[in-house]
C-alpha cells in the first residue's frame, strides 16, 4: 500500500487511527503490529512470511548477542556475523539474484536462469533497519528488546516501512514502550503529513509526467531543450516524491506518538556535492557512515585508506538503490566527486561566488539523476549527448515549446519550494496570520490531493527498485 492512495487515506488510516486511540494503551503496539502486516502484505501477501522471518531472526539474535556480549565477546561476535550474513543473504537473493545470474551468464560456460521474483516492497529499507539493531546491541549502544511484539512493531512500522527514513533501533527504543501522545503532536503530524502529501501528489506526480514524456524518447527525437526539461523534471520529481514520502512518514509517526529523525534538509540549496549528501536521504548516509564507513576505519587510517573507504561506501550506496549496474555507476560517480572535493576542490570552491558553487552542485546532481533513472549506460550516453548538443534532433521542436508552456508554472513552483525560501518567509509572517493560513492550507492541499487521486492516471511508486 502507498500513502498517496484513496485506500490508504480514506479506508486504512481512519481505521488505524480510530482503533489506536480507542483501545487501551497497552494494546496499541499489538494493534500497530497487526496493521503493519496488513499494510505490508497488501501488495504481496506471501512476503508477510519473509517479514516475520526477518523479525524472528533479528529478534532472537539480538537476545543472544545481549546474553553473550559481556562474558563471551567472541560468541556474540559470531552470532552478529551470522546475523549480518542472513540479512544480506535475503537481501541479495530477493533483490540481486537476477542481476547476478544475468551478469554471470555472460561469462562463457555459465548459464544461470533468472528467477523473476517480485522484489519484496521496502526490503532494502527494513533489512537495513533490522541489521542495525543487533549491531547496536553488540556495541552496547542499546539494550535488547525482549518483547517480540514491540520488536516486530519496530521492524514493520508502516509509516517508514517502504520508503524510509531508515530508523535505527536505538533512536526509537524508548518510544516503542513509552511514548507520549498529545493534541499538539498530532496536529504537527497532520501539518507534516499534509505537506508531504501535497509534495507527492500535487508536485511530484505532476512534474513526473514531463520526465516520462522525455525518458522514452529515442536519440532521434531528443532535443537539447527537451532533454534538459526532462532531466530537470526528474530532478524535481524525485526530490518531491522522496522527501514528500519522508514528510508523510514523519507526520504519520507523530500522529502515532513517534518522533523520527529528519531525512531531507533542502538538498538542492547545497553548494557542494559533499553538502548535498549531508542533506539528501540523511538516514541512509548516517547508516552507511555508522555501520560501514567508520568500522572500515573512516578517516583515521590515512588519506589513501579514507579514499578507499569512500569508494566502498559509495559503491554500496549506489547498488543499494536498485539491481542494475547503472546504480553502481551512479554511486561511483558520486564517489569521484566526493574524492575530488575532499582532496582539493572544496578549498578552491570557497573562493568562488556562491552562485557558481550552487550551479556546479546542481549540474553534478542533475546529470547524476540521468545515470540513476535511465535503464542502461547506453541510454545514459544518448541522453547526455542530447543534453550537450551532440544529439541528432537539434535544439528544440514545437512540442518542446508546448511542454515548456504546460509545465512552466509547476517547474518554477517546484524549484522555489525545493529551496528554504518559503520556510524563511513563513517564519517572517506574524503568528496571527499563520494560524489562519495553516488550516486553510491544510484544507486546500487535502481537497486538491483528493481530486488528483480520485482521477489518478499517473501515480507512480519510485522506490519499487530500492
Asked whether position 315 contacts another protein by CB under 8 A, the answer is no
**Does residue 72 interact with another protein by CB under 8 A?**
no
Number of residues that bind another protein (CB under 8 A): 54
**Closer residue to another protein (CB): 201 or 349:** 201
Query: Who's near 355: CB < 8 A, 6+ residues apart?
Result: none
Find out whether 47 and 38 touch, Cβ atoms under 8 Å.
no
* Residue 7 lies near another protein (rule: CB under 8 A): yes
For the question of residue 181 being annotated catalytic, the response is: no
Tell me how far, at minimum, the Cβ of 293 lies from another protein, in Å.
Answer: 39
Note whether 43 binds another protein by CB under 8 A. Answer: yes
How far is CA 412 from each of CA 210, 232, 238, 420, rounded to the nearest angstrom? Answer: 14, 11, 16, 14
Q: How far is the CB of 268 from another protein (least distance, A)?
A: 21
CB contact set of 332 (below 8 Å; sequence gap of 6+): 311, 314, 315, 318
With binding defined as CB under 8 A, does residue 446 bind another protein?
A: yes
**Residue 275 φ then ψ, to 5°:** -65, -40
Of the pair 129, 156, the CB lying nearest another protein is at: 156
Question: Is residue 257 within 8 Å of 21, Cβ to Cβ?
Answer: no
Q: Is 13 in the site for another protein (CB under 8 A)?
A: yes
Using CB under 8 A as the binding rule, whether residue 117 contacts another protein is answered as no
CB 266, CB 417: distance < 8 Å: no
Kindly state the smallest distance separating residue 206's Cβ from another protein, in Å.
8
Cβ 407 vs Cβ 233: under 8 Å: yes
Residue 438 binds to another protein (criterion: CB under 8 A) = yes
What part of residues 408-427 is at the interface with another protein (CB under 8 A)? 408-410, 413
327-366: which residues touch another protein (CB under 8 A)? none
Residue 137 burial class via C-beta count within 10 angstroms: exposed 0-12, middle 13-18, buried 19 and up? buried
Nearest-angstrom CA–CA distance, 131 and 198: 33
**One residue of 326, 453, 463, 466 binding another protein per CB under 8 A:** 453
Give the phi and the psi of residue 46 in degrees, each rounded to 5.
Answer: -60, -35
Q: Which is nearer to another protein, 45 or 394 (CB)?
A: 45
Q: Provide the mask over 367-406, with x wherever binding to another protein is found by CB under 8 A and - wherever it is not.
A: -------------------------------xx-xxx-xx
Q: How far is the CB of 447 from another protein (least distance, A)?
A: 8
Residue 242 DSSP label: H
**454 is a site residue for another protein (CB under 8 A):** yes
CA dist 455 and 183 (Å) reads 33
Cα(60)–Cα(74) distance, integer angstroms: 17
Tell me, residue by residue from 145 to 184, as one string, x for binding to another protein by CB under 8 A and - for no binding: --------------------------------------xx
| Contact with another protein (CB under 8 A) among 75, 78, 105, 187 | 187
Q: Residue for cell digits 535488547?
A: 144
Computed over its alpha carbons, how large is the radius of gyration of the chain? 23
Give the one residue of 80, 90, 144, 190 binding another protein; rule: CB under 8 A. Answer: 190
**Cis amide bond preceding 99, omega within 30:** no
To which H or E segment does residue 411 belong? helix 398-417
Which active-site residues does the annotation give? 321
Which stretches of the chain bind another protein, using CB under 8 A?
Answer: 5-7, 9-11, 13-15, 17-18, 42-46, 183-184, 186-188, 190-191, 193-194, 206, 398-399, 401-403, 405-410, 413, 435, 438-439, 442-443, 446-448, 450-457
Amino acid at each position: 500500500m502507498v500513502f498517496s492512495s484513496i485506500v490508504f487515506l480514506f479506508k486504512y488510516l481512519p481505521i488505524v487511527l480510530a482503533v489506536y486511540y480507542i483501545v487501551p494503551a497497552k494494546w496499541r503496539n499489538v494493534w500497530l503490529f497487526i496493521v503493519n502486516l496488513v499494510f505490508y502484505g497488501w501488495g504481496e501477501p506471501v512476503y508477510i512470511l519473509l517479514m516475520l522471518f526477518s523479525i524472528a531472526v533479528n529478534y532472537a539474535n539480538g537476545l543472544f548477542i545481549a546474553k553473550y556480549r559481556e562474558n563471551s565477546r567472541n560468541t556474540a561476535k559470531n552470532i552478529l556475523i551470522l546475523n549480518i550474513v542472513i540479512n544480506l543473504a535475503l537481501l541479495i537473493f530477493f533483490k540481486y539474484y537476477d542481476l547476478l545470474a544475468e551478469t554471470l551468464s555472460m561469462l562463457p560456460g555459465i548459464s544461470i536462469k533468472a528467477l523473476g521474483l517480485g522484489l519484496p516492497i521496502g526490503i532494502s529499507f527494513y533489512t537495513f533497519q533490522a541489521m542495525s539493531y543487533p549491531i547496536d546491541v553488540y556495541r552496547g549502544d542499546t539494550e535488547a528488546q525482549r518483547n517480540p511484539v514491540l520488536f516486530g512493531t519496530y521492524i514493520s512500522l508502516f509509516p517508514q516501512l517502504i520508503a524510509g527514513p531508515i530508523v535505527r533501533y536505538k533512536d526509537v527504543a524508548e518510544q516503542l514502550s513509552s511514548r507520549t501522545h498529545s493534541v499538539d503532536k498530532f496536529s504537527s503530524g497532520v501539518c507534516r503529513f499534509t505537506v508531504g502529501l501535497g509534495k507527492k501528489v500535487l508536485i511530484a506526480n505532476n512534474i513526473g509526467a514531463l520526465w516520462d514524456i522525455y525518458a522514452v524518447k529515442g536519440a532521434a527525437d531528443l532535443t537539447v531543450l527537451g532533454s534538459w526539461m526532462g532531466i530537470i523534471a526528474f530532478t524535481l520529481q524525485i526530490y518531491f516524491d522522496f522527501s514528500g514520502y519522508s514528510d508523510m512518514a514523519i507526520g504519520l509517526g507523530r500522529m502515532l506518538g513517534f518522533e523520527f529523525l529528519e531525512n531531507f534538509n533542502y538538498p538542492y540549496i547545497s553548494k557542494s556535492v559533499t553538502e548535498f549528501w549531508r542533506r539528501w536521504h540523511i538516514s541512509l548516509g548516517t547508516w552507511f557512515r555508522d555501520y560501514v564507513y567508520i568500522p572500515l576505519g573512516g578517516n583515521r587510517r590515512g588519506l589513501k585508506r579514507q579514499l578507499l573507504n569512500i569508494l566502498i561506501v559509495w559503491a554500496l550506496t549506489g547498488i543499494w538503490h536498485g539491481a542494475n549496474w547503472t546504480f553502481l555507476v551512479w554511486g561511483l560517480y558520486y564517489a569521484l566527486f566526493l574524492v575530488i572535493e575532499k582532496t582539493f576542490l572544496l578549498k578552491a570552491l570557497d573562493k568562488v561566488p556562491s552562485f557558481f558553487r550552487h550551479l556546479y552542485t546542481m549540474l553534478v546532481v542533475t546529470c547524476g539523476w540521468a545515470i540513476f533513472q535511465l535503464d542502461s549506460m547506453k541510454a545514459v550516453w544518448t541522453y547526455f549527448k542530447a543534453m550537450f548538443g551532440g544529439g541528432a534532433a537539434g535544439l528544440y521542436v514545437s512540442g518542446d515549446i508546448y511542454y515548456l508552456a504546460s509545465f512552466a508554472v509547476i517547474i518554477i513552483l517546484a524549484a522555489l519550494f525545493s529551496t528554504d525560501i518559503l520556510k524563511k518567509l513563513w517564519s517572517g509572517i506574524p503568528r496571527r496570520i499563520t494560524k489562519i493560513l495553516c488550516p486553510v492550507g491544510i484544507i486546500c492541499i487535502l481537497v486538491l490531493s483528493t481530486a488528483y487521486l480520485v482521477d489518478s492516471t499517473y501515480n507512480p511508486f519510485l522506490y519499487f527498485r530500492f
